[in-house]
Each structure stands twice: as structure tokens, then as C-alpha cells.
Amino acid sequence: MTNWRAVFVGFLLATVFGIVGLVLPGIGQLAAGLIGGFVAGYMAGGGLGSGLWHGLLAGSLGGIIGGLLIGVAVGLAGLALGPAGGAISGAAGLGIFAFAVV
């Protein structure tokens, strides 16, 4: 059974460390993902498989929410170009979100 508290705490830690990790691009985000995944797995307990599952869920939650935020930002940015720009960037935003979910 999934421990959603562990997943949420892992996601929050990965997000916070990812923001702090912007000082070292690439390495900071990699460390943030690893730390968030390890914490989610450790909090969930139950062995290696359970830890891997919870770390995976924490990371994928971050990817889905990040894709949603980027998609919304692209969609809103196109509104500055008028109705046609809004329609084009709205479709692009939906595509970005769909790609992040897949």
C-alpha cells in the first residue's frame, strides 16, 4: 500500500532542494531528486522495493506538477499575442503537459 505522506514529504524535499540547487545547475537538481527519493523511500519503510516505489512516486509527482506549471505559463504567455497567439500557445501548453504526464 502506498504511503502518500512519505511521497508528499519526498516531493517537498526534492522541490526545496531543487530550488536551492539552482546554484549548481545540473548537479543541484540531481542531488535534489536523489535526496527526495531516498527520504520518501526511507519514510515508507518495508524494504528496497517499497522504497524504490515511493521514491519513484515522489519524483513523478514533481514531474507532473512541473509540467503543469510550465504548460500553464506557456498558455498564459501566448495571451499577450492576442486571440490567435493564445490559441496556439494554449495548444502548445497542453502538449507540454501531456508530454510531462506520459
For position 86, what pLDDT does the model report? 81
With 0-12 / 13-18 / 19 or more C-beta atoms within 10 angstroms meaning exposed / middle / buried, residue 33 is buried
pTM over cut 0.75: yes
Question: Residue 37 in contact with residue 55, Cβ under 8 Å?
Answer: yes
Residue type, 85: G
Q: What angle do CA 23, 34, 39 make, to 5 degrees?
A: 115
pLDDT value at 87 more than 90: no
| pLDDT band at residue 70 using 50, 70 and 90 as cut-offs | confident
Kindly give, in sequence order, each residue whose CB lies less than 8 Å from that of residue 43, ignoring residues fewer than 6 positions away: 3, 5, 6, 9, 10, 54
